[in-house]
Amino acid sequence: MSTRIYVGNLSFGTTEAQLRDLFGQSGEVSEVKVVLDRETGRPRGFAFVEMSTPGGAQTAISALDGRELDGRVLKVNPAQERFGGGGGGGGRAGGGGRARW
């Protein structure tokens, strides 16, 4: 089991310190990262918490999934590994409505 946990449905005011304290009740916390919007710098409403041990991660998931924090019901799951190189865009270079062969 991974020790990295996804924490969703966060209030935009929830801080990394609050999450460290909350998850610390289940075991040693290695890292907390509230994800910010690249353009605005504001929180996106989710975070990742890394626990020091798999047992601590499982305890935290069991104890905190569905728990309320800052008026929001938390969604707490093992984090899924991201595959691929990121990027994005989705459009074709050069624009235009028709493909140019």
Domain ranges, ordered by start, for the chain? 4-74
Burial of residue 69 (CB within 10 Å: 0-12, 13-18, 19+) is middle
Domain 4-74 is in which class?
alpha beta
pTM over 0.85: no
Q: What is the pLDDT of residue 100?
A: 45
pLDDT tens across 32-72, in order? 999 999 999 999 999 999 999 999 999 999 999 999 999 99
